[in-house]
Amino acid sequence: MRSVAIVGASLAGARALQELRGQGFDGEVVLIGEEPHRPYDRPPLSKEFLAGAIDRDALDLLDTEDDLGVTYRLGVRAERLDPANGRLTLSDGGEVFADGVVIATGGRARTLPGAEGVAGVHVLRTLDDALRLRAELSGSPRVVVAGAGFVGAEVASTCRGLGLEVTVLEALDAPLSRVFGPELGAVCARLHAEHGTRLRCRSVVSGLTTVDDGPRGRRVTGIDLADGGHLPADVVVVGIGMSPAADWLIGSGLTVGNGVHTDRGLVTELSNVVAIGDVARYAGERGDRLRHEHWTNATEQAGVAVTNLLAGRTVRGHTASGYVWSDQYGGRIQVAGHPAPGDRLVLVEGTTEDSSFAATFERDGGTVGVFALNNAKLFNRLRRQALRPPAPVA
């Protein structure tokens, strides 16, 4: 293999580049990115960067002084893959030819129906999204966040830190209860209440109200709810998940459906094409298909995928650690493993009413996950002791 194209100037794409060089690949590497920016870190976008506490340079994932011998093609999309000829067609009409391809295109944030082109309605996934939202948080806008997942909660936390009036809407009975169960969902709800954020659960958005904003078109003035309620809003942030950016691969011969399908080693049907990060839907140990949208997952997958790409076959398998963290209201939530709502929650230290506690998730006599709020030391110990580290699988 003499050349590799990495499609996606993302965390996953940056880690793939580092792994290629770290594993001794000295051929040509082209990094293609739809955004005009070099790879940057996304977690601070909803926190320190949104609050104005750090600048753009602090987000960079690749040190400009490091000579990784990469050619950047930024500000262009990959629109078609012809794997038989190793050809990528780009949105500017250009082409890139490569012996191997790493698909790291991530995903696109979902938004509300009718929100397209409405000023004041934001998603938060890219640097430019964060810049646009940050510009609208000056003054005292009334902020409504649709979705109480990690991104929505972090945005609400940041806005409260700026002294803004914030309401969070959640369709479920409690935030993240579908992931963590009702007890920990109640903990997430309590964090909002303790810091002055209004949380409205079982609230489904039915539409937006807008006014004429002159040359800019329409501007949001509020949110209508399915139960007939209405909330005034100057800024609306939509945090209802993302869709994997895989449509451009339709017709390439690869299997696409809620991501790019791969084997356990992140290898597609073609041994010279791998997928990593949010876009990869890989085969699990029980024959199911898994796709994780976490920072840690992208970093863990890169080494496995690159090893298999350079080997020309799957010689390593990926087992996700399931580690996720979220910084909210000056505290930190940490999770590891793969808990499900039906698991039994066992408190190890403290109670769910405390500002600091740790617990495990138990299923069929074994520990399948660890959770902690503001208790990193015990979390790390439980994670080492209760969860077996992932072992390479051939």
Give just the sign of the alpha carbon dihedral 356, 361, 366, 369.
negative
pLDDT tens digits, one per residue of 267-324: 999 999 999 999 999 998 777 889 988 899 899 999 999 999 999 999 999 988 889 9
Residue 65 banded pLDDT, cuts 50, 70, 90:
low
% the chain with pLDDT above 90: 86
Average pLDDT value for residue range 39-58:
96
Judged against a pLDDT cut of 80, whether residue 239 lies above it is answered with yes
Judged against a pLDDT cut of 80, whether residue 67 lies above it is answered with no
- Cα-based distances in Å from 151 to 97, 124, 186, 248: 37, 8, 18, 26
Taking the model in full, what pTM does it have?
0.93
**Bridge partners of 121?**
236
- Cα-based distances in Å from 154 to 37, 159, 205: 23, 9, 20
Task: Give the separation between CA 42 and CA 35, rounded to whole angstroms.
Answer: 13
Task: Give the separation between CA 252 and CA 264, rounded to whole angstroms.
Answer: 21
| Domain 111-238 annotated CATH 3.90.660.10 | no
The answer to whether the 3-108+242-311 and 111-238 domains have the same CATH topology is: yes
Question: 319's torsion region: left (phi>0), alpha (psi -120 to 50) or beta?
Answer: beta
| 3-108+242-311 CATH | 3.50.50.60
- Domain 330-386, second-level architecture: 2-Layer Sandwich (3.30)
pLDDT tens digits, one per residue of 242-260: 999 999 999 999 999 999 9
Residue 327 banded pLDDT, cuts 50, 70, 90:
very high
| Average of per-residue pLDDT values in the chain | 94
Q: Which of 107, 121, 37 is nearest to 281 (CA)?
A: 107
Structure confidence at residue 394 (pLDDT):
42
Do 280 and 262 contact (CB within 8 A), yes or no?
yes
Q: Tokens 């350079």: give the residue.
A: 310
Which residues, at least 6 apart from 265, have a Cβ–Cβ distance to it below 8 Å?
274, 304, 305, 307, 308, 314, 315, 316, 317, 318
Q: Which two tokens stand for residue 352?
A: 């769910």
Structure confidence at residue 214 (pLDDT):
83
The torsion angles phi and psi of 284, rounded to 5 degrees, stand at -85, 180
Do 112 and 205 contact (CB within 8 A), yes or no?
yes
Residue with the larger pLDDT of the pair 214 and 4: 4
Q: Which of 335, 340, 120 is nearest to 223 (CA)?
A: 120
Domain ranges for the chain, please list them.
Answer: 3-108+242-311, 111-238, 330-386
Q: How far is CA 377 from the centre of its chain?
A: 25
Do 112 and 208 contact (CB within 8 A), yes or no?
yes
pLDDT tens digits, one per residue of 125-152: 999 999 999 999 998 999 999 999 999 9
pLDDT tens digits, one per residue of 186-237: 999 999 999 999 999 999 999 999 999 888 789 999 999 999 999 999 999 9
Q: Which of 62-66, 258-262, 286-290, 327-331 has the lowest mean pLDDT?
A: 62-66
Structure confidence at residue 342 (pLDDT):
87
Strands across the sheet with 260-262, in order? 260-262, 280-283, 289-290
**Bridge partners of 4?**
29, 100
Residue 325 banded pLDDT, cuts 50, 70, 90:
very high
The torsion angles phi and psi of 319, rounded to 5 degrees, stand at -125, 115
Which residues, at least 6 apart from 216, have a Cβ–Cβ distance to it below 8 Å?
119
pLDDT tens digits, one per residue of 358-393: 999 999 999 999 999 999 999 999 999 887 654 444
